[in-house]
């Protein structure tokens, strides 16, 4: 997204600190910070309410048992189950 911002394809973008630091290294200090938030969970995965509980369990078990070596090169290093209150900051941002 930061590349699109520099190219003028978009007028604004959202990102996280690590990505912004990499973009500044690549493009220079050309970004204007409009707002920031508390740290929020990254790479959250959710399922539609129509997905049954058994399918949810299968998805959850599959993701949490992935060999971390298979995620090499991706931004995720593994998946964990978090309680619903872990996403309270996200809920507050959306209000």
- 8/54 same-domain check: no
pLDDT above 80: residue 50: yes
What is the C-alpha separation between 26 and 6, in angstroms, rounded? 10
- 70/46 same-domain check: yes
What is the C-alpha separation between 77 and 43, in angstroms, rounded? 11
Decide: residue 60, CB within 10 A, 0-12 exposed, 13-18 middle, 19+ buried.
middle
- 9/47 same-domain check: no
* Mean pLDDT within 27-40: 88
DSSP class of 26: H
- 29/52 same-domain check: no
Instruction: Give the count of domains, the chain.
Output: 2
* Mean pLDDT within 35-61: 87
How many residues comprise the chain? 95
- Domain that residue 59 falls in: 40-95
- 77/31 same-domain check: no
- 15/49 same-domain check: no
pLDDT above 90: residue 56: yes
The vertex-90 CA angle with 92 and 26, nearest 5°, equals: 125
4 confidence band (pLDDT: 50, 70, 90): very high
């Amino acid at each position: 997204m930061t590349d699109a911002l520099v190219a003028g394809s978009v007028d604004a973008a959202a990102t996280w600190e690590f990505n912004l630091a990499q973009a500044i290294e690549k493009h220079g200090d050309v970004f204007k910070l409009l707002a920031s938030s508390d740290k929020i969970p990254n790479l959250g995965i959710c399922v539609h309410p129509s997905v049954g509980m058994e399918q949810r369990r299968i998805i959850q078990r599959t993701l949490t048992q992935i060999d971390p070596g298979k995620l090499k090169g991706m931004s995720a290093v593994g998946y964990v189950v978090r309680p619903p209150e872990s996403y309270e900051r996200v809920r507050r941002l959306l209000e």
